[in-house]
A = this chain, B = another copy of it.
């Protein structure tokens, strides 16, 4: 029978009493805060189907979720948006530990704008338990917060050897997360990685999934990852734990974008064949192919040795790196052993085909081919061949019947066949052109109101020189410019004229971007309470990276060691922080503080930090403090550029540091002067790994 239900309770009841073959329609409407438990029993040929009256006609908003238990249920056509799950998952293949789902299917679902507001509150959009479950033809848009988008858990025998299928889905973007936990798919985990999962990840389209180094993280055995497209992803498919996995027929498209990656191989008996690696520019762990070194007596969550791997009939097209022995260091000392690299086709425009960090014959090269235009020395196990090209959906790919991937038979791109058919992207149109709003010093109390009424892209102009007497901080939660009127002789000066200390004159909240120009931020004023920072990012939940530009500003008269000119809060990430033409002086704290992530988990406060033409003088603390602690290898940042800066009488205390760049993976400090600074400690402190990219040049130290 077919019925229409109108509430979660009615739905649960209907499913519980449904018979195989029944279809239960949810009334087309917005279902707010709907937490749905579907427990029922269909049959293999006659599942119970749960769907909206029309595909996409039901939107789940607010704090909604679906839990599925039982057998042969098909859940399809729903739209999650504008909210986040109140539970550990948006869709879970279990109701509780006693009620798992088996033989169930989630199809044609869209999940977008459904991330936890706090970026480090971890959840998953889909979690597999049980066996023989399937997620297909779903569209998943840019998960912002921590936690893999899809997880398969293998906690006990009921969920192992599971034969799940994740197929034909469209993973529509995942922005850089700036930490481990930005995976798109994880199968298993280290604790249960010695068991077989037998999950199939097939025919999916991964588009710019840039969350972290692992787009797909395989942490179990006997999985099959095949015929997927990885389009401009800053990461790759990683066989992190578990053995006997198959990686077949995938198409990795880099288009020469930086950091784009391929396949990373760890553990015994992995097979990688018939894949195409196209213009991938990642290196190290993001190499087109990275075969890792292992750790002696490895704990289960570390690195088992690569053994008895077969890597054959792959095509590598003008990619930045094929790396054997990746990660080799004082700990990862065990080179790969008995790895067959054969029948592959490599096109290289450089003088190198591959790098082997060990060169101990652990890799056996047989019958591989190279483009005949290759300019370097042909390594053993390779020969040059003349390459023909065939065109596949707009890509000119090299083809040879004997070497490389069997292009003519591979379904290399299937984007049109992925994702939810009914889904169309709705774009917001801006309501009007950006405007400017002028605020005089006498109107200081009105600034927040003006900010609240402004639209994204608008400008607030402070029209007067002299003091803007603030009694509360300005909260910015949309893209705005706050600047001095042009032609002023002196900067407008923000001061705290209240008896309550201000956390900052300006606080950036979730959704906010900010450019400040031509303003002064004075920390103490008369007998009023102090401001603790000039500008800071919020301590409220935040999941969107923000942009902040500080131009031609002045920060001074901060009396406490915890004060800063700019201070990033924990669990906030600047996409970029640009500070130019500004001066920081007479501060007992630090100038620019990006050190709030103290947990040594590889997390940091800004992806790109650019500081140019700035002066720091008479600071008790560090001028610039950037911290990323721990051993994590998931991320690319922080990227730090410091250029044409002056440091005078900055942080002369014992063990003090003028510029602290702990864990910066990419950093340059150039054209800068240090005078009477860092006398008790150091001018610049790095704590870098051997693969970090550090440059200090053209600086003077007096």
Residues of A within 8 A of B (CB): 97, 155-156, 190-191, 295, 297, 299-302, 329-331, 499, 524, 527, 530, 559-561, 586-588, 598-599, 618, 620, 631, 649, 652-656, 679-681, 687-690
Contact = CB atoms under 8 A, between A and B. Distances in A.
A679 B296 CA distance: 13
Contacts of A190: 559
Contacts of A302: 588, 620
Contact of A527 (B155, B655, B687, B689): B155
B689 A297 contact: no
A334 B487 CA distance: 44
B588 A680 contact: no
A530 B190 CA distance: 13
Contacts of A599: 598
Contacts of A156: 527
Contacts of A690: 654
Nearest to A155: B527
22 contacts: A191-B524, A297-B649, A299-B559, A299-B586, A299-B588, A300-B559, A300-B588, A301-B560, A301-B588, A301-B620, A302-B620, A329-B653, A329-B654, A329-B680, A330-B652, A331-B652, A331-B653, A331-B654, A331-B679, A598-B598, A654-B689, A655-B687
B297 A618 contact: yes
A499 B96 CA distance: 11
Contact of A654 (B299, B527, B631, B656): B631
A649 to B, nearest CB: 6
A52 to B, nearest CB: 34
Contacts of A299: 559, 586-588, 618, 620
A530 B301 CA distance: 14
A330 B652 CA distance: 7
Given A559-B300, A620-B302, A653 B631 contact: yes
Contacts of A680: 329-331
Contacts of A300: 559, 588
Contacts of A527: 155-156
A689 B656 CA distance: 10
Given A329-B680, A631-B654, 14 more contacts: A191-B559, A295-B652, A297-B649, A300-B588, A301-B560, A301-B561, A301-B588, A330-B653, A330-B679, A330-B681, A631-B653, A631-B656, A654-B690, A655-B689
A688 B654 CA distance: 9
A542 B655 CA distance: 31
Nearest to A691: B654
A159 to B, nearest CB: 10
Contacts of A530: 191
Nearest to A619: B299
Nearest to A633: B654
Nearest to A499: B97
Nearest to A158: B527
Contacts of A679: 330-331
A397 B425 CA distance: 90
Nearest to A560: B301
Nearest to A159: B527
Contacts of A687: 655
